[in-house]
Each structure stands twice: as C-alpha cells, then as structure tokens.
Amino acid sequence: MGVRVTSTYAILSYGRIACLYGQSGVHHLALLDPNAGELLDLDLPYTCYDPYVRAWGMQLVFVGGGPALPNQVVVLDFTTREVEVLRESERTSIDPAFFSVPEPIEFPTDGGREAHAYYYPPTNPDLSASQGDLPPLVVHVHGGPTSESTPRFELETQFWTSRGFALVHVNSGGSTGYGREYRERLYGQWGVVDVHDSVNAARYLVDGGDADPKRLIIRGGSAGGYTTVCALTWHDEFATGASYFGLVDLEPFATFTHKFELKYMHDLVGPWPEAADLWRARSPIHSFDALSCPVIVFQGLEDEVVPPQQAEIMVRALEAKGLPYAYVAFEGEQHGFRKAENIRRSLEAELYFYSRILRFELLEPVDPVAIENLE
C-alpha cells in the first residue's frame, strides 16, 4: 500500500521553488526565486490546494480545486506555459449558479485576539428570502481538532446553502494554516478556545446582519462533535445542533485511543494523570444539567475511535432531561460514514430534525426521523 508524503514545495530544474502558502485564509501557489528573494503568485483558477506538490524538470504537478471546482490533478509546464488536467476527483451536472462561494473572515474572539473562518451565504437562484428575513446559520466545526477547513468543493456545504442556510466553517484557534502561534492556542485549551471561537463566529455574523440570532445551529464530527456538545452545554447561543460521533467524556481517551493519537490529547488538555481534574472538568458529561436545547446524535456502531458508548451517554442525558432528541446509528459504519446511502440519510435526517425544532417548512419531502420528547 502506497504512502502519501506531504510536500508544500518542490524545486524546479532552473533553481526556482514552487511553493504553497496561506495568508488570511486564502491559499496560494507561487514561484520563489531564492536569488532575488521574489515571490510570484501563479495565475491559476484554484482557491485551495492539497499539500502534494511535485516537480520533474520544468514541470510541476499539484492538486487544486475550489468551492465550485472539484479537485484536479494538474501538470503545469513552465517551458510551454501549458496546463493539463490529468484527473478530476468527480464531476457534477449542478448549475454553478447554485454554488455558494465563501468569503474568508476574521472576527474578534476572547483575549482580544482574532480568529478565522469561511462564510458561505445562502445561494439559490430559484429562491429569495422575504424582506428583512435573516437566514438560519449553521456553524460547522472541523475535526482534528488541529486540522483545517478549506474552501474546497464540498456538496455537503452546498446542501445547506442551497436550502436557505448561511454556513460558516470555523477555523478556531489550533487550526492548521495560520501560523505556529495560532496552532499553539489550543495547547491546554481544548474545549475552551475552540468553543469560544465557534460561539464568537456566530455572534460576529449575527452582529453583521448575516444570521438570525434565534436560529443558530452548531454541528461537527469527532473532535468537532466534542466542540459542538461543549458549546451546547456551556453556552446559550445555539438553538440546536448535531453531534457526529462526538466525544462527551474525555477521560477514557487519556489511556485508550488509536496509536496515531496516543498522548496527542495530553498536549491539548493536560498531562495525565496529573491533570485528571481538568480532563473531568472539560468533559461535558459532568455538566449535562446545563444542557437545555435539542440535539441530534449520529454514530457508527463499529466506530473504534469514538465508541458508541459516547453517543449513548449523550442520548441518556437528553432522555433524562426530557429534551427533544434523535439518535441515528448506522450498522457497519466506523469513524466517519463511508456508505453513500448513510451519508445522504444523515444529512436529510439532520435537515428534517432542524425543520421540526426551528419550525420551518421543507422545500422538498424527506424521510422523517423519530424525534423523542417532541411535543
């Protein structure tokens, strides 16, 4: 089995360096002349790049894409200036007019600092909102938790924006792509910095008139699910949310997780067992008395990274409090759903859940999901 090696630069045969860099949430592919110290951006129709740049003589191979352009494997020949697309990740027949194009935003957050996100406005040429009607906002929290959201082609994002939702992909403190200081904000602060940045992204868009303050939603998977549950437990901004295989009790992960992330959380929370009290305090399971809004929970029953017991703890707490909730579990799914029918079902179930909780009519019928404690 092959191994993909990350590379953000490649040296061309005439001594210049092709390199990727990010600035204020925008990706760039550029040429660096080390002798002159000049950096020249390449004029290409891509807004995000995967970190797999390779050079062969005067040719550069890279993977690029954008919000309405699926990833492409591209060869750029600096001798002929020709660009050849070798392979496309997928093709779509959807009219590009339905694609929401994101805006990178910076917004104020705790500690007098700035945080980053991509804001996607609701976009559907066949629909228009009533005058003065603000859209519901979906705050999406990436997993990792030190990975990043990029402005790439994602039909899941367009699923929401084409149905009247505004959406913001939050790159909270700790995310890749904004420098070392930004990455290190999360050290010892997981469950704090990421939560505050997600809340403040919603506040920023509400203050700017881009979202309805009474219809704020937060969603995320894995580490993003953990941030989601923390935000719903310890803050009152959100009307509802969705946790996809999210963590609710951190303590079991102090000594049991897959090898790749073993000890990883010790940097993000604190050393174990010395900081055992902190691990407990950051686990929303111990604060569910403060939880006061409906939640939909998704889980793969063969997930060995975040076992189903974590979702079941959340469900029992929602039932005990008499809060509306739905629990959707998939046989045969692991950490991150892989079957197309299950991905589609989860999105439609989530949309249906929000329609009942926020009381809006769906534009097209979807199969309902059982919602417990819904009057």
214-269, pLDDT tens digit by residue? 999 999 999 999 999 999 999 999 999 999 999 999 999 887 665 556 678 899 99
Q: What's the pTM?
A: 0.93
Taking only the tens place, the pLDDT of each residue in 312-353 is 999 999 999 999 999 999 999 999 999 999 999 999 999 999
Q: Mean pLDDT throughout 93-101?
A: 91
Taking only the tens place, the pLDDT of each residue in 273-305 is 999 999 999 999 999 999 999 999 999 999 999
d(CA 15, CA 32): 9
Q: Mean pLDDT throughout 48-59?
A: 93
Query: pLDDT tier at 363 (50, 70, 90 boundaries)?
Result: confident
pLDDT at 26 over 90: no
Taking only the tens place, the pLDDT of each residue in 162-193 is 999 999 999 999 999 898 999 999 999 999 99
Taking only the tens place, the pLDDT of each residue in 206-219 is 999 999 999 999 99
> CA 147 → CA 81, 151, 233, distances in Å?
34, 14, 24
Running DSSP on this structure, what letter comes out for residue 99? P
Q: Report which of 240, 285, 113 is spatially closest to residue 186, judged by C-alpha positions.
A: 113
C-beta neighbour count of 259 within 10 angstroms: 6
| DSSP H/E element including 337 | none
